[in-house]
Structure 1
Amino acid sequence: MTSTPTARAELARGGALSFVGSAVSAVMGLVLIVVLGRLLGDAGSGVVLQAVGAFTIALGVARFGMDSAAIWILPRQLDDERAMLRPTGAFLVLVSAIAGLVCAGVLFAGALVVEAQNPGDDVAHAIRSIAWFLPVASVMLTALSATRALGKVTAYVLVGNVLLPTLRPIVIAVAVGVGAGAVGAAFAWALPLLPAAIAAVVVMLWQLRRLGRTAQPGFLRSGVPSRTIRYALPRVMSSGLEQLLIWLAVIIVGALAGPAAAGVYGAASRFVAAGMIVDTALRVVVSPMFSKMLHRDDRSGLESVYRTATVWLVLFSTPVYVLLAVFAPVALSLLGGSFADGEPVLVVMAIGSVVTFLAGNIHSVLLMSGRSGLAAMNKAIAVAVNVALIYLLVPIWGITGAAVAWAAACAIDAALASVQVRVVLGLRVSPVPGLYPLIVALITFGVPSLALRLTLGATWLSLFAAAAAGALLFLAWCRLDRRRLHLDELRRPSG
């Protein structure tokens, strides 16, 4: 059984690599938003972002839960069913490809219906142009999840966090440069999925060949396919709902207030998404660890890793959101003057993200326990709250109302998962471990940021000065209190 210190060291090593990849992905995501804003304006960006939103929501269903199933089942097979690795990997990819094709047909048909009712609708035209990339994307995500579940975080990072997000703004800039409009930009956004999917599948096949034993006949009768499908079915709904929670507001805002408003809201929300680099980095590493620990009934080890990951998540994420909230006008100025209305959206979503982080990687714990049905129920409740609040608040507060709706829905989702993990799994989880690192980040970054904003205003100079002052204070505090913040684990060698 893996010792707790070794598990923490594994978390630190994998988390550091994943953090680098997530940082690259976040930066390139911001570059993508800047490219869209500068080249297409708020209305053109709104068209692309609404198409991307529809595609991403459909992708949540198209991958048919196979990416999450890979993270759940493959680490367990590495322990005691290595002969099942190869057929299981092939099964996961095949199912996601078939589901992707079906969803692509449905999405394409839906776009045709919208165009028939509203000829010349650029959003529908853009959706139609990228719909057939759904099976490519679903296979890519499943293969990447398999590589991560089999211990190859490097491949997951290089393909999913570096190759794909780096290619997208380059291809879009080239497409718009040769005369493509918003529809062409949407197609250019989807095109890099092809090389990314090929790379992901090649790495997965290499890993399966290296780690798996020769498969015995009778895989379909082994019970693995039925177990996998039973786990994945609730994830189909849950994944679709997760993407609805992220992207539905962009589409509804576009319908209620037009593509320009959707472009502003979508751009502001992308800044918030880019700030989730630590959350993404830790989730990549802890999910397979949680699956193994739950499989071995190592509850104390899981609780220890969960607490450490929560401390790091809050400690390293909060500074980003403090700077985004205090200097929102500066960040949005990268996109152009027409995006200034996104300031309150950025502030509200930054605060909502920090509050949600107090729950740590609670969704990963719930999913890796096999309770995908509970996760799906939570997402359904969160999406229902989100939609209801959007229709209630957007007519009153505009796009700021959509941001409030999103923050409330995310908090409810995290709270439900926390209660279920405590009651159903009997694990000791709470927001308490995140409170102290929250105080550290708020003091070290929040105080100088507010002081400089009030004295120098919202300028690039004040932003850089606040970031520099905050970093010095933050590093000093972390150095002096490294044991309480679990930072000694970052230097501990593997055991």
Structure 2
Amino acid sequence: MASLTTRLAGPLGQVTARLAGPLGQVAKGGIAGVTGAAISAAAQFLLVVVVTRAFTAHQAGTFFTATALALMIAGVAKLDAGNGLIYFIARAKTYGYHGISGYIRAALLPAVLVATAFGAVLYPRLGVLAAALPVMVVADVLLAATRGFGTMRPTVLLDGMALPALQFLLVAAAAVAVRPQWLPLAWALPYVPVTLLAASRLRERLPRTPYLPGTGRDLWRYTAPRSVAGAIQAVFQRLDIVIVAVLGGPVQAAVYTAATRFKVVGQLANQGLAQAVQPRLVRALADGELARARELYQAATIWLVLLTWPVWLGYAALAPWLLRLFGTGYDAAVPVALVLAGTMMLATACGMVDVVLTAAGHTTASLFNLVIAIACTVALDVALIPAHGAFGAVLGWSGGMVAKNLLPLWQLHHRYGLHPFGRHSLPALRFRSWATA
């Protein structure tokens, strides 16, 4: 993934210099997001390799389950405040960003309080990971606010590069010392410098404008439905690992985590492109510019396919050998890898459907879609994991992913006539001829 991104970075930079339209904007912002995603995915993959080879499957599964639970709870606690900030900051550009500091305070306070409450309740179970929950939430909200100002640099550098790299180095140190009890602290500690640096970067961009009454009410009126959807989305992303640990035990959780580690490539690539495109989508749809929104959506989709499909095809072909990197016994999860690859190819072909749906203001519809998706996952997991272990878990996750992507795809078609592929897809494929024109 990293080498593919490196090969594309040069031509894409030339394309961006020549294009002033939405396609050029997607290439410029998207390549930054995807570069960060590639580095993050590589660091996370290596982290899993280190843990599975240095510790027993039971110890590895226990650690993976704990971090999955921490990420899931942090995703719930942040109340999707970051996306609410992106929405209001992107729209406020027209008005000189008046009242933005009030929006940021209104977003942070409830999220921090919820994260602190969760941390207090879960401390006996998660220990240092529970204590880190407020810091994880603050980092996410502050980085989202910087993206609202139209910059990807803090997110790429801090969340995409610094955080996973530091986590890998500290976890590797715990592995060298053969101290499994150090793993939670090694994984959580990097959130502290990332949060401090994110606050510093946001302060540099934050205009000194007076507080405007009603900002908190406006922010949460828009964000509240999405907060529930964001919580369900966070649960959907991590619940499979937790359910495998509960129903199949830590060893099956370790096998499942290792075999599905490559799904983070698709998630992070999608996230990297979405982070670049989302503010522009919000502005285009708010201004009623459906044609520009269609162009952004289709350009982002084709880049997502170009950047991830070679990874899925390669993973499906090389899975028997790649899974051996995790240690003895992990190569038995080849069927899990094949289901993962096929499902992610389908999901990326749909593009960032949920981002487009919420950018258009349909947060309630997004919530409905996520409820259906997680219901499918839980039902299939409960039915299949006891008999089939990790393979049953990936089938449950696959069913949820199909529902999560096809439902909003139909809704976008029905409401706006939007499709992930169209007349803007072919120009995106011709970036080489544009770069040399």
Tell me, yes or no, whether TM beats 0.5. yes
Could you tell me which residue of structure 2 aligns to residue 202 of structure 1?
A: 200
Q: CA deviation at 1:433?
A: 4.4
Residue matched to 1:184: 182
The equivalent residue for 1:487 is: 431
2 CA distance for matches of 1:490 and 1:40? 50
Task: Letter of the 1:60 partner, please give it.
Answer: G
SS class of match (1:96): helix
- For 1:277 and 1:486, the matched residues in 2 are separated by 25
For residues 323-377 of structure 1, give each alpha carbon's deviation from its aligned partner in whole angstroms, at most 9, with x where no partner exists.
1111112211111122122211111011101111121111111121222222122
CA distance in 2, matches of 1:161, 1:204: 17
Q: Retained in 2: the 8 A contact 1:68–1:145?
A: yes
Q: Pairwise mapping of residues 454-465 of structure 1 onto structure 2 (< 5 A)?
A: none
Q: Aligned-residue CA RMSD in angstroms?
A: 2.2
State the distance in 2 between where 1:489 and 1:231 align: 43
Contact persistence 2:76–2:235 (CA under 8 A): no
Residue 335 (structure 1) aligns with? 326
- Among candidates 375, 378, 384, match of residue 375 of structure 2: 384
Q: 1:469 matched to which residue of 2?
A: none
Q: Distance in 1 between matches of 2:174 and 2:250?
A: 21
Distance 1:40 1:86, change over 3 A: same
Question: TM (normalized to structure 1)?
Answer: 0.80
Partner of 2:209: 214
In 1, Cα distance between equivalents of 2:191 and 2:259: 24
Match of residue 130 from structure 1:
129
Inter-partner Cα distance in structure 1 for 2:32 and 2:314: 24
Larger Rg: 1
How far apart are the structure 2 equivalents of 1:34 and 1:409?
Answer: 27
Percent identical pairs in the alignment equals 26
The aligned residue for residue 279 of structure 2 is 288
Encode CA deviations 1:53-84: one digit per residue, 9 max, x unaligned: 11111111211221111121110011225221
Match of 2:140 in 1: 141
> How far apart are the structure 2 equivalents of 1:489 and 1:95?
50
Unaligned runs of 5+ in 2: 1-18
Contact 1:238 1:379 in 2 (8 A): yes
Letter in structure 2 aligned against 1:428: G
Q: Which moved more, 1:342-351 or 1:277-286?
A: 277-286
Residue 405 of structure 1 is matched in structure 2 by: 396
Aligned letter for 1:357? T
2:109 corresponds to which of 65, 80, 94: 94
| Match in the other structure for 1:72 | 87
Q: Counterpart in 1 of 2:164?
A: 165
> In structure 1, which of residues 90, 96, 105 is the aligned counterpart of residue 120 of structure 2?
105
Cα displacement string for residues 404-462 of structure 1 (whole angstroms, at most 9, x for unaligned residues): 11111111111111222233xx322235549x98xxxxxxxxxxxxxxxxxxxxxxxxx
Query: What is the CA distance between 1:202 and its match in structure 2?
Result: 0.9
Q: Could you list the per-position Cα deviations for residues 294-342 of structure 1 after superposition, in whole angstroms to 9, with x for gaps in the alignment?
A: 1211110000111111111112211100011111122111111221222
Q: Structure 1: how far apart are the matches of 2:43 and 2:315?
A: 17
Give the Å deviation of 1:380.
Answer: 1.2
**Superposition deviation, residue 275 in structure 1:** 4.3
Superposition deviation, residue 293 in structure 1: 0.8
Q: For residues 377 and 257 of structure 1, what CA distance do their matches in structure 2 show?
A: 29
Residue number among 21, 25, 34 corresponding to 2:36 in the alignment: 21
Contact preservation (8 Å) 2:265, 2:308: no
1:263-282 superposed matches below 5 A: 263-282=254-273
Given that 2:302 and 2:421 are in contact with CA atoms closer than 8 Å, whether structure 1 keeps it comes out as: no
Q: What's 1:84 paired with?
A: 99
CA contact (8 A) 2:323 2:330 kept: yes
**Distance in 1 between residues matched to 2:21 and 2:348, nearest whole Å:** 25
Deviation at residue 492 of structure 1 after TM alignment: 9.6
Match of 2:312 among 315, 318, 321: 321
Maintained 8 Å contact 2:336/2:391: yes
The reply to whether residue 364 of structure 1 matches residue 355 of structure 2 is yes
Give, in whole Å, the separation in 1 of the partners of 2:314 and 2:268.
Answer: 15
Q: Confirm whether residue 31 of structure 1 aligns to residue 46 of structure 2.
A: yes
* Whole-Å separation in 2 of the counterparts to 1:486 and 1:238: 37
Tell me by how many angstroms 1:392 deviates: 1.3
Distance 2:145 2:399 in 1: 33
1:384 positional shift = 0.7
Matches within 5 A, 1:467-482: none
Q: Deviations over 1:20-55 (max 9, x none)?
A: 111111111111111111111322111111001111
Correspondent of 1:40 among 39, 50, 55:
55
Superposition deviation, residue 490 in structure 1 = 7.4
Q: Secondary structure at the match of 1:322?
A: helix
Question: Which residue in the other structure is 2:8 paired with?
Answer: none
Alignment correspondent of 2:75 = 60
1:160 & 1:409 partners in 2: Cα distance?
Answer: 27
- Is contact 1:62-1:100 (8 Å) kept? yes
Deviation of residue 485 (structure 1)? 2.0
Question: How does the TM-score come out when normalised to structure 2?
Answer: 0.90
Which structure 1 segments of 5+ residues have no match? 113-123, 438-481
Superposition deviation, residue 270 in structure 1: 1.5
- Number of the residue aligned with 2:9: none
Tell me how far apart the structure 1 counterparts of residues 428 and 89 of structure 2 sit (CA, whole Å): 34
Task: Give the secondary structure class of the aligned counterpart of 2:56.
Answer: helix
1:428 maps to 417
Shift of 1:103: 2.1
Measure the CA separation in 2 of the matches of 1:264 and 1:378. Answer: 29
Question: Aligned equivalents of 1:139 and 1:431: distance in 2?
Answer: 33
Give, as a single letter, the amino acid of the residue that structure 2 aligns with 1:27: A
Tell me which moved more, 162-171 or 329-338.
Answer: 329-338
Question: Are 1:353 and 2:352 counterparts?
Answer: no
Q: Secondary structure at the match of 2:260?
A: helix
Q: Kindly state the Cα deviation for residue 291 of structure 1 after the two structures are TM-superposed.
A: 0.8
Q: Give the letter for the 2:209 counterpart.
A: T
How far off is 1:152 after superposition? 1.8
Q: Which residue pairs with 1:229 in the alignment?
A: 220
Counterpart secondary structure, 2:197: helix
* Structure 2 contact 166–190 (Cα < 8 Å) conserved: yes
Q: Is the 8 A contact 1:35 1:173 kept in 2?
A: yes
Letter in 2 for 1:132: A
Q: What amino acid maps onto 1:34 in structure 2?
A: V
Give 1:429's aligned amino acid: L
Q: Identify if the C-alpha distance between structure 1 residues 140 and 274 changes in structure 2 by more than 3 Å, giving closer, same or farther.
A: same
- 1:376, 1:226 → 2: CA distance? 20
Q: Number of paired residues?
A: 419
